[in-house]
Amino acid sequence: TQLLEQSPQFLSIQEGENLTVYCNSSSVFSSLQWYRQEPGEGPVLLVTVVTGGEVKKLKRLTFQFGDARKDSSLHITAAQPGDTGLYLCAGGNEKLTFGTGTRLTIIP
């Protein structure tokens, strides 16, 4: 069974600060996705990383896929209240295995 552990589980920081969320596994994934989910809604896809060592940027969000394709990170610069939500990494091809989730709260 492929498991994806995210850390931290909870994170509450002030607006304007930077943060990094980690997604780790002992298994190799052909691709990893990052999603953000708000209460009462479905997850929204943020990015897909496919190549080991790949870095993708989405405005203030930077995603990195580990060289061995076992881990990934999400870095947010100058966090804003709109970044608040549940961040989920997910890996797999035919079917996704979701990470344990990181609940992020940005305090205005």
Partner 1 sequence: GAVVSQHPSRVICKSGTSVKIECRSLDFQATTMFWYRQFPKKSLMLMATSNEGSKATYEQGVEKDKFLINHASLTLSTLTVTSAHPEDSSFYICSARDFGYSYEQYFGPGTRLTVT
Q: How far is CA 37 from CA 40, 51, 74, 83, 85, in A?
A: 8, 25, 15, 10, 6
Least distance from C-beta 88 to partner 1, angstroms?
A: 6
86's tokens: 């549940």
CB nearer to partner 1: pick between 6 and 64: 6
CB nearer to partner 1: pick between 66 and 99: 99
Q: Tell me the three state secondary structure of residue 27.
A: coil
Contact footprint for partner 1 (CB under 8 A) = 30-31, 33, 35, 40-45, 48, 50, 88, 93-101, 103
